[in-house]
Structure 1
Amino acid sequence: MKPFSTIIAHELRLALRGGGDMLTLVLFFVIVGAIVPFAVGPDKALLARIAPGIVWISAFLAMLLGLDRLFHADHEDGTLILLRQSELPLSAIVAAKVMAHWLVTALPLILASPVLAMLLAMDLETFLRTLMSLLLGTPALAAFGAIGAAVTVAIRRGGLIAPILIAPLSIPVLIFGVGTITATQSNAAMLFLAALSLMAVALAPFAAALAISSAED
């Protein structure tokens, strides 16, 4: 368990050392959400209906910005080769990186969501449901992002291709994420979202490890 936690701590230290990246993600998240009302217009009723979707789309796009940090730098400097020789299975290493990726990308966005909620004039109940849906759904986005980053790790400009690969996988997350807030069967949507995240987090490390091994060989 110690090597696993060591990898997480190492990734967090690297992210905090370059703290500007997290600030960029948060600002991008808030700016995207704040721009949409200008395009929609001053219709408060319409804005209230689409606000959950705006938050989810902003979170999805912001998390795409952090994909390059997952494996690309380790591939460039040879760290991935060393990690494959460690006593910890590559799938466990990927799982640790996915967890750290969620902590440095999704968690700051969740913490910044009250700002976006105020800009979108969300009521308290809608905001709380939005917060819960982000907590349940963003692990799946992080897991799918790891798969996309692993598949394109050895491809030049792979950071431009990965979002295209993971977009179809992320559509159900966005649907259920918004459904937990707006649908009449919101509790069922929340359960489906939680199940989707659990399945993605459980399977993504093995899929990403296989992709990395194929790319490195």
Structure 2
Amino acid sequence: MRALLIRDLRLALRSGGGFGLGLAFFLILAVLVPLGVGAEGGTLGRIAPGILWVGALLACLLSLDRIFALDHEDGSLDLLATSPLPLEGAVAMKALAHWLVTGLPLTLLAPGLGVLLNLAPPAYGWLALSLVLGTPTLSMVGAFGAALTVGLRRGGLLLSLLVLPLYVPTLIFGAEVVRRGAEGMALGTPLALLAAISLGAAALLPFAAAAALRVNLR
């Protein structure tokens, strides 16, 4: 599984599989929102948690269709399905690779972009923590959606329609963590729910995605 992870990381970085594109989108969104909303600090500060989380969600969404598409095109996916490596493990490694080249860089970049949106300083750490807890769910749900649409022509739009409703709980609780952190409120409940969603996705979705792949490869 380690070899598969390293291979996917190399392919993602060589082909621009969302690494630079996601970061560029996130940066452009953070720059454009103050221009559209206005430079009034109070307004920007109030909407900053939601904007940053929506930006991270959409940036992750840009590269989801590439999780299995390249392997399907060159036949590698069929080899993975028939190899001794459990297909569930392969799905988990591909989701992890997607997170390492999208979710992790976005997490590191987000506090800096919070300055552009006048995010309250106490919320910077909570923003990073919420993204660390929540972005793995985005990658895992995305891998499940990519497994459902692998092999479909122009499946990117269908993939977006499938996964966006599943992203809503993570978006709500992630933004709530940042909002409460900015206001100095209790954070236990949204943090616990965000972590629970991530653990549930990691435990269940590799099996669901592997089952979808087996159906699509028949």
Tell whether the 8 Å contact from 2:26 to 2:56 is kept in structure 1 after alignment.
yes
* C-alpha distance in 2 between matches for 1:20 and 1:151: 20
In the TM superposition, structure 1's runs of 4+ consecutive aligned residues that sit over 4 Å from their partners are: none
**Residue 114 of structure 1: CA displacement?**
3.0
Secondary structure at the aligned position of 2:39 is classed as coil
Structure 1: 5+ residue runs without aligned partners? none
Which residue does the alignment assign to 1:190?
191
Matched, 1:205 2:216: no
What whole-Å deviation, never above 9, does each CA across 1:2-38 have from its counterpart, x for those lacking one? xx11111111111222347411210101111221122
Instruction: Report the identity percentage.
Output: 48
* C-alpha distance in 2 between matches for 1:182 and 1:11: 35
What whole-Å deviation, never above 9, does each CA across 1:39-61 have from its counterpart, x for those lacking one? 21122111111101110000000
What whole-Å deviation, never above 9, does each CA across 1:114-134 have from its counterpart, x for those lacking one? 331121122321111111100
Matched, 1:74 2:71: yes
Tell whether the 8 Å contact from 1:30 to 1:115 is kept in structure 2 after alignment.
no
Which residue does the alignment assign to 1:120?
117
Indicate the RMSD between aligned Cα atoms, in angstroms.
Answer: 1.3
Which residue does the alignment assign to 1:39?
36
Structure 1, 206-215 or 9-18: larger mean CA deviation: 9-18
* C-alpha distance in 1 between matches for 2:17 and 2:153: 24
Which residue does the alignment assign to 1:131?
128
Aligned residues: 214
**How does 1:107-186 map onto structure 2 within 5 Å?**
107-183=104-180, 184-186=185-187
Q: Match for 1:9 among 1, 6, 11?
A: 6
* C-alpha distance in 2 between matches for 1:15 and 1:175: 29
* C-alpha distance in 1 between matches for 2:186 and 2:123: 15
Which residue does the alignment assign to 1:214?
215
* C-alpha distance in 1 between matches for 2:216 and 2:201: 21
- After superposition, the Cα gap between the structure-2 partners of 1:189 and 1:206, relative to the gap in structure 1 and judged at 3 Å, is same
**How does 1:53-92 map onto structure 2 within 5 Å?**
53-92=50-89
AA at the equivalent of 1:188: T
* C-alpha distance in 2 between matches for 1:78 and 1:10: 15
**Residue 204 of structure 1: CA displacement?**
1.2
- After superposition, the Cα gap between the structure-2 partners of 1:84 and 1:20, relative to the gap in structure 1 and judged at 3 Å, is closer
**Residue 62 of structure 1: CA displacement?**
0.4
* C-alpha distance in 1 between matches for 2:81 and 2:100: 23
* C-alpha distance in 1 between matches for 2:178 and 2:58: 19
**Residue 108 of structure 1: CA displacement?**
1.2
* C-alpha distance in 1 between matches for 2:18 and 2:136: 19
